[in-house]
A and B are shown apart, each in its own frame.
Chain A
Amino acid sequence: MGDDWWPYIVIAVAGWLATDIWRWLGVLAGNRLNEDSEALYWVRAVATALVMAVTAKLIVFPTGTLADAPLWLRLGAAGIGFGAFLIAGQRIGVAVVTSTLLLGLGLYWLGF
C-alpha cells in the first residue's frame, strides 16, 4: 500500500471531524434553546458576529488572486456596493453586481 490514502486520512480527521464536531455541538446546544428565549438572542448575536468577522476577513485578508488587488480597491468595491444596496432599497443583486463590476474594472485598469 502506498501513501495515497494518507491525504484522505488528513482530510477526514483535520477536515471532516474538525468541522462536524462544532455542528454536532450546535445541535446539542440548540436542542436546549427555546424560540424567542433570551439565550437564543445571544446565540444569534454571536453567530452573526462570527460570520461577519469571517466575511470581513475574506475582503481585508483574502487568499488567492484577490490578495494581489490593493486594499483600497477591495474596500472601495465592497463599500460602494453596500452603499448602492442600501440606496436601492436593500436589493441584494445590486450589491453583488456593483461590487463585482467595480473590482473587475479596477483590476483591469490597474493592468492585471
Chain B
Amino acid sequence: MSPSSDTQSASFWFLTGMRGITSLPAIILMTSFVGFSAFAFESGISRGEAIFMTISIWALPAKMILVGMMASGAHIAACFVAVTLSSIRMMPMVASLVPEMRTERTSTWLLLLLSHFVAITAWVFATQRLRDVPREHRATFFAGFGITLTLTNTVIVAVCYGVVEAFPPVVSGALFMLTPVYFLASIWATARQAVVRLAFVIGVTSGPLLALVSPGFDVLYAGIGGGTLAYLIDRFWIRGRKRTVQAEKLHGR
C-alpha cells in the first residue's frame, strides 16, 4: 500500500471512531455528564475545576468520589486513597483491551496515551466494536472515539455547569439510573464467553453484599475474588467438562 492510501485509511478509521459519538452508549454517557455538572455545581465545585476534572480524570465514578471528598473538605491524601481504590479496575480493563488493540509496531507510548481515554463506556464500546476493525487501525479507531467522547463531555460540563442548579428529582433520579442499567444490559449482551457471564453474575451480587461487610475494599474483593472464582469455575468445570467430553469422544470405543 502507498503511504497516501495508508494515511487515507487511517483518517477513515479515526472518523469512524469519532462517529461513535452518536451511539447509544455515548448518548447515555453525555446525559450522565449533564447530571454531573449539576452535581458539581450543587457541591460547590467551580466551573474550572469541574472542567479540569472531566478532562484529567475522565472516569465518572472516580470524579463523583473526588467531588464528594473535596466538598467535605477531606485531606488530599484521603482523597488520593479513595479515588485510587475506586480506580484499580482500570488496570484489568485496560490490560484486557491492549492485546486486541496493538500490533507488533504499536508503540507503548501511544498505548499509554490512549489508555487515558479508557473508562467504562469506552471499554464497553471497544469490547463490542474493535473486533470489526482491521487490526492495524484499531488504535486509530479507538483514539477517534475516546478523544471525541472525552472532549465532547468536557464541553458539555463547561456549557451545562450552573445552567441547571438542580433537576426535578424525577428527572435527576432517572438520569442517574440510565448509566448502570445501560452497563448491565450491554455487558451481558456482548459477553461471548461463559467466563464473562459468570463474572458478571458474581460481580453484580457480591459487589453490594461485600459493601456491607468491608466498605472501602468491597469492589476490590468482588473484582479480584469474584473474577478469579468465575475463572476457576469456567476453567475446571465448564471448559473442563467440555474437554472431558471431547476426550471421551476421541478415546472412547
Contacts and interface: CB of A to CB of B under 8 A. Distances in A.
Nearest to B210: A53
Contacts of A44: 92, 96, 193, 195-196, 199
B178 A31 contact: no
Interface stretch (B9-17, B110-118, B152-160, B244-252): B110-118
13 contacts: A14-B77, A14-B83, A23-B91, A42-B231, A46-B223, A48-B200, A49-B203, A51-B93, A52-B199, A55-B207, A56-B205, A90-B185, A99-B181
A18 B112 CA distance: 15
Contacts of B207: 52-57, 60
Nearest to A44: B96
Contact of B184 (A53, A55, A93, A103): A55
A104 B46 CA distance: 30
A42 B200 CA distance: 13
A15 B95 contact: no
B162 interface: no
Interface string A22-35: 11111111110111
Interface residues of A, number: 78
Nearest to B46: A7
B180 interface: yes
Report the interface size class on chain B.
35 or more
Interface of A is mostly: helix
Given A18-B80, A41-B193, A50 B174 contact: no
A14 to B, nearest CB: 4
B171 to A, nearest CB: 8
B115 A27 contact: yes
B169 A92 contact: no
Interface of B: 24, 28, 35, 39, 45-46, 48-49, 52-53, 56-59, 61-64, 66, 68-70, 76-77, 79-80, 83-84, 86-100, 102, 108, 111-112, 115-116, 118, 120, 123, 167, 169-174, 176-189, 191, 193, 195-196, 198-200, 202-208, 210-211, 218-220, 222-224, 226-228, 230-231, 234-235
B181 A78 contact: yes
Contact of A47 (B116, B171, B183, B227): B227
A63 B56 CA distance: 22
A28 B102 CA distance: 12
A12 B55 CA distance: 11
A16 B150 CA distance: 14
A44 B124 CA distance: 12
Contacts of A30: 94-99, 111
A42 B88 CA distance: 16
